[in-house]
Amino acid sequence: MTKPARTTDTPLVGGDSDRDGAARSGGAVRPGDAAGRPGPEPAAPRLAVAPRLLARAREAARAALPAEACGLLLGRVDGERTLVQRLESTRNATASPAEDTFEVHPEDYLRLDALARSLGLDVVGVWHSHPDSAARPSRTDLERAWPGWSYLIVGRAAHDDAHERSWRLDDDGRFVEERLVTAGEAPAPRTTQPTILR
Amino acid sequence: MTSATLHLPTPLRAFCDGHDTITLEGATVGELLRALEREHPLMAGRILDDAGQVRRFVNVFVDGENARAKGGVDAGVADGAELTIVPAVAGGAPRADERRA
């Protein structure tokens, strides 16, 4: 598998961004320097997505109204950073009302999984829309979530204040927000703590 | 002996020493999945349930066809076949009671 290009990230919503590879220790104890000064914060998970891909998700979410839209994220994981290189839509195969549920059609998953492998990528996450509610995972999202994937949500897709946030399960099975960043620009300082849904 | 290649999704790789692809011996879907559990014990219960059937939220495709329509764990597997483990990917917006909470 090809090693991803090294880039810097810029936050898209709230949160912060760190220089790629600057703090990848990931441990519970912050590293320090020889003088005892604390080192950088451990890297927090973040999802790097090009703005054009987010725009595509928002467009697909609007096109699917009043149903939820859904799809897969193809890309690479490099430590705590997940780089999305393709955002693909899939059929919503839910047997429940599609206004508030989604299920990626398994045949579409199969097709995109094969596409990802042919490109040297992986399925690294899932995206879906909430037509009327915010981009926070629901109880259903939590019950059906898999560890190790990013869950990108287009919130309020039917409204003028549509927005995107991304989440992933932590070791305790809770959704933790991951910073949504775009690759290739200078990072901004951290301004907020990540949200953990209990 | 029949052998087949299994493609594993990212969420299950942590239980298979990080492998994304594993080649195993077995003539049916069930034999291959049990071989996977023997080789990687942490996989036990993640694809097959206690009754030895494929779990509800997992699909197994054999050369592009869903094994559920071919006999499930009893579906035959040709030598050199490719099996893809497909996790059910689902969720949805908060229900009305959740939004009020």
> Residue A5: which pLDDT band, with cuts at 50, 70 and 90?
very low
* Structural domains for chain A: 9-23+41-183 (3.40.140.10)
Which two three-digit tokens encode residue A167? 């989440």
If you average pLDDT over residues A98-121, what whole number do you get? 94
User: Which chain A residues touch B7 with a CB distance below 8 Å?
Assistant: 113, 117
Q: What is the pLDDT of residue A169?
A: 95
**Percent of chain B whose pLDDT exceeds 90:** 87
Q: What is the pLDDT of residue A183?
A: 64
A163-192 pLDDT, tens digit each: 999 999 999 999 999 999 986 444 444 455
Neighbouring C-beta atoms of residue B101, cutoff 10 Å: 8
The CATH number of residue B30's host domain is 3.10.20.30
Q: What is the pLDDT of residue A188?
A: 44
Q: Is A113 helix (H, G, I), strand (E, B) or coil?
A: helix
Alpha helix (H) residue ranges in chain A:
51-64, 106-118, 139-143
Given a contact cutoff of 8 angstroms between Cβ atoms, the answer to whether A195 and A176 are in contact is yes
Q: What is the pLDDT of residue A96?
A: 84
**b/e string for B4-13 if b means 16 or more Cβ within 10 A?**
bebbbbbbbb
Q: Determine the Cα–Cα distance for residues A47 and B93; give it in Å rounded to an integer.
A: 21
Probe site for chain A from B89, B97, B98, B100 (most A CB atoms < 10 A): B89
Residue A146 at interface with chain B, using a CB cutoff of 8 Å: yes
Q: Is B99 helix (H, G, I), strand (E, B) or coil?
A: helix
Q: What is the pLDDT of residue A13?
A: 42
Burial of residue B50 (CB within 10 Å: 0-12, 13-18, 19+) is exposed
If you average pLDDT over residues B57-70, what whole number do you get? 95
Query: Is residue A8 pLDDT above 60, yes or no?
Result: no
**Percent of chain A whose pLDDT exceeds 90:** 63
If you average pLDDT over residues A48-61, what whole number do you get? 96
Tell me how close the Cα of A128 comes to any Cα of chain B, in angstroms: 8
- B70 DSSP 8-state letter: G
If you average pLDDT over residues B64-87, what whole number do you get? 95
Q: How many beta-carbon pairs under 8 angstroms link A with B?
A: 99
User: Which chain A residues touch B8 with a CB distance below 8 Å?
Assistant: none
User: Which chain B residues touch A101 with a CB distance below 8 Å?
Assistant: 90-93
The boundaries of the domain holding residue B35 are 3-100
Based on the structure, what is the number of domains in chain B? 1
Query: Shortest CA distance to A132 belongs to which of A159, A163, A166, A160?
Result: A159
Query: Is residue A61 pLDDT above 90, yes or no?
Result: yes
A138-156 pLDDT, tens digit each: 999 999 999 999 999 999 9
